[in-house]
Structure 1
Amino acid sequence: MEGKAEFHVPGVSTPCQTWYKVVGDLNAPGSTPLIILHGGPGASHDYMLPLTDLAPDIPLVFYDQIGGGRSTHLPDRAGDESFWTIDLFLRELENLLAHLHLRDRPVDILGHSWGGVLVTEWASAPSRSTNLRRLVVSNISASMDLHRAGLAKLRGQLPEDVQAALNRGDAENDFGGPEYMAALDVFTKKHLSIGRPWPPPEVQDLMRWYAEGLDVYTTIFGPNTLTPSGSIRNWTAIPSLPKIKVPTLVIDGTEDTPSEAMQPFFDLIEKAKWITLDNAAHMAHADQRAKYMKQVGGFLTA
């Protein structure tokens, strides 16, 4: 089932639309729907579709966040950090849950990358997440400071000529030149996904929609994956993590940002379980699809 939920955003003259897709039966007896938040920002749900492996045992709700995919795009808001806020996306999530009549029944929620930022914020606010049963946080650092430190560590492991090209681009504020882009491609093939042949289908989906929602990505995150200078540059979940009281699965890959960046999730969430998948990068759900689904499915149905 596919549809659109009308979403009224202050300052936008006409209602926005949140596109969604339901896989499975939301009303199946004894089932708990899993709401899936994709990364980006500005991407779409498409690259998360391997999670359909969890159906039909688990009903799934995919959706494209505002500014990306098949939902409303607002290019006139490019660069407006006061508009593209975490709270905007949390209100969109709550609006979608209400539209699907899921506000008053238990739900599970999974956030990947930027989606992990959103679900962490949502789950740590009791006033919003009273119906949350279980939480999955996938491939996300607990703070931007930890993320920057992790990126620096990974950059330091790249070949010297690649590091030099990245450093020149940073110094000249030139992130689009061929030398910089070639160096960034080396990083991407090591730490975004290790799927081969390159690029795997999930990466193709991700990049295609990134290009469509680039205004949102650059406003919130920055010019590229190595330069987190956007509006979430000072974000941290660390003070809020002890407020998350539901069972939580933290999952990542050995080739993603170093484990120190995710450690606070395990240390500060009372009921946390942490799984790191070998031979998997940021797209762990695609790089080690069967193992990822086994861990997530087992956690949600235990």
Structure 2
Amino acid sequence: MLVIHGGPGLSHHYLYPLTALSASRQLIFYDQLDAGSSEWPNDPKNWNVPRYLAEIDALRSHLGLDSLIMFGNSWGGTIAAAYAARRPPGLTKLILSGPLIDTRRWALRACLASGDTSSEAFAAATDLFYRRHLCRRDPWPDFVAATFEPRLFNKRCYEGMWGPTEFISTGVLRDYNGSAELASIDVPTLLTCGEFDEATPDTTRRDLDVMRFAAAIPGAEVVVFPNASHMTFVEVPESYLSVVRGFVEAAPETAPAAAVAVAGERRAVGRGLLNGASPCTWSTGGGFYAYPFTAYWNATSGDYGWEARIVAPSQAVVGTSSGRRRRRRRGEETRGREAVTGVGALRFGGAADVYDRPYAEVLDPAVEVGWAAWLVPPEVRPDPQRRGEWTSRAFVGTRVSTASHTFCGCQSMRGDAAAFRLTEHGRASGDIPPRPARVPWYANLTRREISAQIRATCAALARRTSCPEDNETAYAEWASGRDNGTYWRLPPWVEVYSSLPV
């Protein structure tokens, strides 16, 4: 494992806790040019990302590193990510710890672009910032303090490349943005950061920057460490090393699923979450259904479905153009249909022979079969405000076997390592084109064709709809009667699942 330190201009000493990983593999620490124990020519011509990438090539050639894992912290993450985006031969995994990817999204660059940086007040503010967002251990360990000693810390390089302090960038990197290159990374990637990390400067935001960067890397995994900041491996070494060991020692997957997790509750979520079956134990439908009923999720194909037995049809709630509710009469939508023979009505297997078989039979009217297709797929991420919880937002279209409508609307989920709640809101309804009498709308359609019809029906609405930020806003909008006048709105629909899909 090649370990790349931050800075620029720092030494590798603060990364000492990572030496515990050497029990299972060789670790290589080095000091970059103009840093630590390496030479300090202090030539500004050397202070650019391409030269530091060339330094990696020279190091690999000199040491014969044909195969390696790369670890980069902070500015070291800048180098590691840019290097990995070149898809170099022999790179097997990548770990980015609080990486600098986009200077515009780092700390408080715009807050103090000018002024006296030599005053005592400024020094005090800088010290406070460092102890809150750089390293929260008090006092700092000797190996961290040593990194900032004049003999190891090249301040001239740091200021020339970055600026006078962590939250002001006036140097070469002031306009750096490597986010466009992230999609080119093709190796398993782990991104880590602390809850109070300067790499995620505003912890009150709903979307952490590191999460945004991870979303751009195919198959990336993110772990956020509570009560830690930029030097997570110093502040919570046992948790950090456990996560890194698990990632490094895991067998590579042929098609890794994007995942995020909260340290200490390492149940991965993301695309990998929404694959499998999970039981619904309650919904807005109330006594209309028998619980639990099963939902089947397939994030790979971008759709899901459910099969629920109807026990009290008279209790069904349906929206109307005036926003009022009415009761569905028994048999109103299913009159004259025969029960389906055989099993596997949902056909959520993912294989072509499953998705491309038409529904030749009429489904049992006492069972609601539902089909759903995501037009905007769920973006699942940890909730920075509620430790151990995750959220997602999406836009979805649905149809059911017992009605002749397509429902389109915003969808949100909230859950933890054990269960989750799904809410659909802002839903519009459009009639499915009629078919001959006694012929259900799904007759002779395949699962793939149903999904295609749903997406075609909801596409225009998905493009122009602004989804509510949260469930509370959704309910408030519905209760106030807000509508764009082009479709009738249904009350928000909620489903509760007692376990994650398995």
TM-score (norm 1): 0.76
Is the Cα–Cα contact under 8 Å of residues 43 and 209 in structure 1 kept in the other structure? no
| Number of residue pairs the alignment of both structures matches | 243
Asked whether 1:201 is paired with 2:201, we answer no
Task: Decide which of 85, 101, 110 is 2:64's aligned counterpart.
Answer: 101
Task: Decide which of 175, 179, 182 is 2:124's aligned counterpart.
Answer: 182
Secondary structure at 1:276 match in 2: strand
Gaps of 5+ in 2: 201-206, 251-502
Is the Cα–Cα contact under 8 Å of residues 252 and 281 in structure 1 kept in the other structure? yes
Report the residue type matching 1:191 in the other structure.
Answer: H
Superposition deviation, residue 83 in structure 1: 2.9
RMSD over aligned CA atoms reads: 1.8
Give the structure with higher Rg (CA).
2
Runs of 4+ with >4 A deviation: none
Asked whether 1:57 is paired with 2:13, we answer no
Task: Determine the structure 2 residue equivalent to 1:263.
Answer: 211
Task: Determine the structure 2 residue equivalent to 1:220.
Answer: 161
Task: Decide which of 71, 89, 94 is 1:130's aligned counterpart.
Answer: 89
Choose 199-208 or 51-60, whichever is displaced more: 199-208
Task: Decide which of 73, 76, 83 is 2:46's aligned counterpart.
Answer: 83
Task: Determine the structure 1 residue equivalent to 2:5.
Answer: 38
Gaps of 5+ in 1: 1-33, 156-166
Task: Determine the structure 2 residue equivalent to 1:140.
Answer: 99
Secondary structure at 2:28 match in 1: strand
> Could you report, residue by residue, the CA deviation over 1:91-112 in whole angstroms, capped at 9, with x for unpaired residues?
111101111011xx22100000
Greater per-residue helix proportion: 1
Distance change (3 Å), C-alpha of 1:68 and 1:171? closer
Asked whether 1:273 is paired with 2:221, we answer yes
Asked whether 1:301 is paired with 2:249, we answer yes
> Could you report, residue by residue, the CA deviation over 1:203-239 in whole angstroms, capped at 9, with x for unpaired residues?
3022125863111101111111111111011111211
Identity %: 29
Distance change (3 Å), C-alpha of 1:209 and 1:106? farther
Is the Cα–Cα contact under 8 Å of residues 265 and 272 in structure 1 kept in the other structure? no
Secondary structure at 1:175 match in 2: coil
Secondary structure at 1:189 match in 2: helix
Is the Cα–Cα contact under 8 Å of residues 143 and 261 in structure 1 kept in the other structure? no
Is the Cα–Cα contact under 8 Å of residues 11 and 152 in structure 2 kept in the other structure? no
Task: Supply the distance in 2 between the matched residues of 1:199 and 1:116 (Cα, whole angstroms).
Answer: 22
Asked whether 1:111 is paired with 2:72, we answer yes
Is the Cα–Cα contact under 8 Å of residues 35 and 108 in structure 1 kept in the other structure? yes
Is the Cα–Cα contact under 8 Å of residues 110 and 119 in structure 1 kept in the other structure? yes
Is the Cα–Cα contact under 8 Å of residues 75 and 100 in structure 2 kept in the other structure? no
Question: Taking CA–CA contacts closer than 8 Å with sequence separation of 6 or more, which of the two structures ends up with the larger relative contact order?
Answer: 1
Distance change (3 Å), C-alpha of 1:134 and 1:191? same
Greater per-residue strand proportion: 2
Distance change (3 Å), C-alpha of 1:221 and 1:152? closer
